[in-house]
Chains A and B, each alone.
Chain A
Amino acid sequence: MPTGWETFPIEFRGGLISNLSPLQQGINAVGSATILQNYESAIEGGYRKVLGYEKYIDTEVSGTGPMLGVKIVDTDYTIAVRQNGSASRYHLHNGTSWSTLGTAAGLGGRVKYTEFNFNGTSKIAFVDGINYPAIYENTGKTLTFLSSAPTEVQGATDVVMFKSHLFFAKGDLLTFTAPYDETSFSAALGAGTIRVGSDIVGLVVFRDNLFIFSRDRIMQLGGNTIADFAMAPVTERIGCINGFTIREIGGDVMYLAPDGFRLLSATDRIDDFAMEVASDAIRKDAASFLSSSDTLYALVIRNKAQYRVFAYDSTTQRTASKGLIGTKFSNQGASRIEWSTLKGFKIHCADSKYVDNQELVLYGMDDGFVYQGETVSSFDGEDIEAVYESPYMPITDPQKRKTLYKITLYVNPVGALYLKCNIKFDFEKVNGVKVIQPPQFLFIGSGTKAYFYGAMDATYGVATYGGVLDKVYNNQLIGSGKTFAIRFEENSTNPPHTLDAAVIEYMQLDRQ
């Protein structure tokens, strides 16, 4: 005997999940996603359509090929590295135009950098895996190559500042400068070299230690000077396979291990670290993403607690280029990381930094322009295709048919909304026969606000005061099935919206 209409609320949270069977996910993770493309798990709750990018500087950086490095210096100044002939050339933008800072001897790879200040002058050290390190000095806006550095430093693949030393990684050698002197490699002054035993993939300073990642192990270097630097293993079993993916996020360090993205987290015990696989929840999507390219680049967006990693493939169209977003909801550990995918970001290098209390995000792609992210709702004027698809949810008994009658969608738009919605039943096919699905319908918001006299942000005499956008949308549903999924698509340059929750009104039928 069927019951009356009942209500089934769906709270949009949990992010992308691809390590559960479809029905398990629909039962245990209602509101999670099987597709979450160009949406991000918002730290305020819900799934928010991502922001795109626009040209930060309208003038192309001279040279050829993809951008090899982008570094934010401060409010007006940006450094970009690009191939020029047979060498890497460093360019400085002063807010008005690009100028050449210097040209390396040869053509290097993508640059890594570290900021330091040993003597009251802000500096940035760059390494590119081929050339001598370059030091940018911010006061004079000059760039010098450490041509007199030992050969152990030429072609360094990573550089970090740790305990007043610059540490360079090359092969299995870790070379560090004398304290407070980035140009001195004299052992007598406190510089030195440490052979770590296997090729170094990346370096990161975390807590009180320097962590050294190689492909098959992770080590930590403690101490303050050459006199007490001491190396200890963190793990001898698993390492990092891509140094451009090592980033500190939310009190942990995320990196790409052979089995997925892992988190190096401190534990309650002194000198103990956990290494959870953070991408376990998206095992299939992570595998698909990692198979798309070996050229990865990770970026942290601090105000969103996000770790973003982009795959770059020169033969892939920008619109098809992939990425992953991990939003970290807990301070430590991988238990509260929600994932989603990116599409349309062909990022070769990137940087993010707080400038004047605003986080500035810059992308370097393959066309010689520097793009600014997180400001506009388009891909440099083109549509952003955002897709959310829920798992197939049985609501109650997966063997009983339910007729859906109504959906109420709670969404938080910033402007106009043009959301296409599909309800899908019974995994689309049963016994190889296609299940007939209801037609698509739309949730449309014009972006026109309702205005309230006396609102806190009201301004007398101004037409747009106290505006509130529509946040609740209703639509009748048709169709029945034993399980159902919701799919939202928005392919536009509309301002972002946040999917908050949906409420389905349904009637459960009898067993058939």
Chain B
Amino acid sequence: MAYDFLGLVNDVNRRVNEVELTSANFDTAQGFYNTAKDAVNSAIRQINYEQFEWPFNHQTHTETLVDGTTRYDFPATAKTVDMDTFRVKRNTTFNNQTNKLNILSYEEYLERYADQEYNTDSAIKGTPTQVFRTPAFQFGIVPLPDNAYEVEYEYYELPIDLSAATDTTNIPEHFRSIIIDGAMTYVYLFRGNSQDAALMQQKFVDGINSMRTIYINRTEYVRTSMIERVSPSYNFVRIK
């Protein structure tokens, strides 16, 4: 069974002994099948709400700056943007190197650099060195760019709902059963089976916790900070 919206909905159908859908009737299916579709989407949404930075939602975006423009929109699907990842890409035409941008708070921007948005003097323009987050889900560049530099940054997206039979989710297929467990919670509630719904809810939460253990609670390695004893006569430990 393909790992797409149709496949996930049919997983739900099989669990409750319903007729499986096909790509031909997927769009027009009514009644319980709409509940099954909603349930799958709800489960996927719930998984995404549970953690800000699931690695499978990670995206990289390249924004081409506009000469003389300070503020730029984040992608509509962006959930969280890592401001510490902004960099200007090397460009031989503009004769600039790859350069990571320093984070600037919005307040500091207002205090020190806000005039660049109103100053028409081209002498204040230059290669970007700093980036700041605006209150309106945008980012700003300092100094005012003098060329169409490419700025690249990383963010975690908020996936959109599945709709067509062939739509796919970013959640890896290994966690297919967790999505279905979550969907079953809604399906059982629809069928008035609150007992099984509660069991499935618990299983779903356990599954998300397992995902978090695998993906989020990462420690790359552990290193002792204890240093070697310099002299046998000195019996102390220096903390770095």
Chain A contacts to B: CB under 8 angstroms? 1-2, 401, 403-405, 430-431, 433-439, 477-480, 509-512
Contact = CB atoms under 8 A, between A and B. Distances in A.
B192 A480 contact: no
Contacts of A431: 30
Nearest to A510: B192
B194 A1 contact: yes
Interface stretch (B14-22, B83-91, B113-121): B14-22
B62 to A, nearest CB: 45
Contacts of A435: 30-31
B193 interface: yes
Given A434-B28, A480-B32, 13 more contacts: A1-B193, A1-B195, A2-B192, A401-B32, A403-B16, A403-B18, A430-B31, A433-B28, A436-B29, A437-B19, A478-B19, A509-B192, A512-B190
A438 B192 contact: no
B240 interface: no
B37 to A, nearest CB: 13
Contacts of A401: 32, 191
A401 B32 CA distance: 10
A43 to B, nearest CB: 38
Contact of B193 (A434, A510, A511): A510
Contacts of B17: 403-405, 477-480
Nearest to A512: B190
Contact of B191 (A405, A437, A512): A512
Contacts of B28: 433-434
Contacts of A480: 16-18, 32
A509 B31 contact: no
Interface in B19-71: 19-21, 25, 28-33
A2 B191 CA distance: 8
A398 to B, nearest CB: 15
Interface in B132-183: none
A430 B31 CA distance: 9
Given A478-B18, A479-B19, A433 B30 contact: yes
A47 to B, nearest CB: 27
Nearest to B33: A436
Contacts of B33: 436
5 contacts: A403-B18, A436-B33, A479-B18, A510-B192, A512-B192
A510 B191 contact: yes
Of A436, A480, A512, most B-chain CB atoms within 10 Å: A436
Contact of B21 (A2, A434, A436, A478): A436
Interface string B190-206: 11111100000000000
Contacts of B193: 1-2, 509-510
The list of the 5 closest CB pairs from A to B, nearest first, reads A510-B192, A509-B191, A479-B19, A438-B19, A433-B30
A477 B18 CA distance: 9
Contacts of B194: 1
A265 B111 CA distance: 109
A103 to B, nearest CB: 64
B19 A430 contact: no
Contacts of A403: 16-18
A397 to B, nearest CB: 13
Contacts of B31: 430, 435
B18 A1 contact: no
Nearest to A431: B30
Nearest to B26: A436
B221 to A, nearest CB: 51
Nearest to A433: B30
A420 B56 CA distance: 47
Contacts of B18: 403, 478-480
